[in-house]
A and B are shown apart, each in its own frame.
Chain A
Amino acid sequence: MSVSLFDILGPITVGPSSSHTAGAVRIGLACRMLMGEEVKKAKVTLYGSFAETAIGHGTDKAVVGGLLGHRPADIENRDSLDIAKKLGMQITFAEAQESRYHPNTVKIEAESVTGKKFKMRAASVGGGSIVINSINEFTIETPCNQDTLVIIHLDIPGMLSALTTVMAWAGYNISNMTLKRTKRNGEVVSIIETDVPVADDTVSMLRMTKNVNQVIRIPRF
């Protein structure tokens, strides 16, 4: 196990709980970043301990704060429900139980200002750290603690080689890489983590690669 100095002297965040508040902000923020656009509508479903202690921990405000683009240390998280309302963002909450999920799980079904639909499920796993468990129909497992690329492409031979060639050519070291598909010959999500942020031109190259449908960049946050 490896620990960062600022896991111990941090994170700097709004209280009262690193898992139920800071982690919840990060889940909302991850959703906002993955959508790449401002959120217009969102249905937020809280599971397990998140559902049971949401009000007292401000988990509801935290998730919405993240959806607004706030970070865990932004004091605006306190008033995020009012801010969202003023901006005309429509938020609904629901509670559910699912024993297979981590006890601190959130599902977000969102629609962006341009009408793009997106859903994700993530868990807050302690100390403000999160794991994204699904994006749209893909089941994944990514912690968002590195600079991350989420690449959706076709399930055909040679794709990984094509993607890693772009990365190698641009001089990026891949620190972690996973690949998941929904079904054979369907779509695949490849998640590539790097030590340093990937520049715009490399992201464009990846987007132009044949049979790549979508490239989303999530900066380390």
Chain B
Amino acid sequence: MRDEVKIGIGDMKVLRQQGTLITYALGSCIGITLYDPVIKLGGLLHIMLPKAGDQGAATPFKFADTGIREMIRKMAAYGGVTRRYVCKIAGGAQMFQMTGPIGNIGERNIASVRQELAAQQIRIQGEDVGKNYARTMLMDVSTGTVRVRTMGRNEIIL
């Protein structure tokens, strides 16, 4: 049994029935979990940038728009049904208080994730986004519980 499956930057993994999906230290990046409670199917996506432009084909999971679409497609192959998905998101922080594109990448990521999820008719049921700190996001696939760990704060359940 694989206990813990780690998701790197610009990647996505799916687990069924049991195990934990984890992605470490989301800064301006965003972690997106989808969970189908009927078949206990969970997926965790770690995106880095808002829009793919013409680069989506090579590395779809790097971007919010192509990443979410590809995640839904992959999870459907495992039997997931879009209208059953419970969706949670975390991340999109502003790590450095600076102006310009470096400062607002987190914000743009959040906007793009919301837009794409709305387009796919998926409602976000829990979130911990923005602010100025990094987050580690975990999902227990046996229950669908999503937890967020941060530095110097208590772990929260989304």
Q: Say whether A and B bind each other.
A: no
**A interface residues with partner B (beta carbon < 8 Å):** none
**B interface residues with partner A (beta carbon < 8 Å):** none
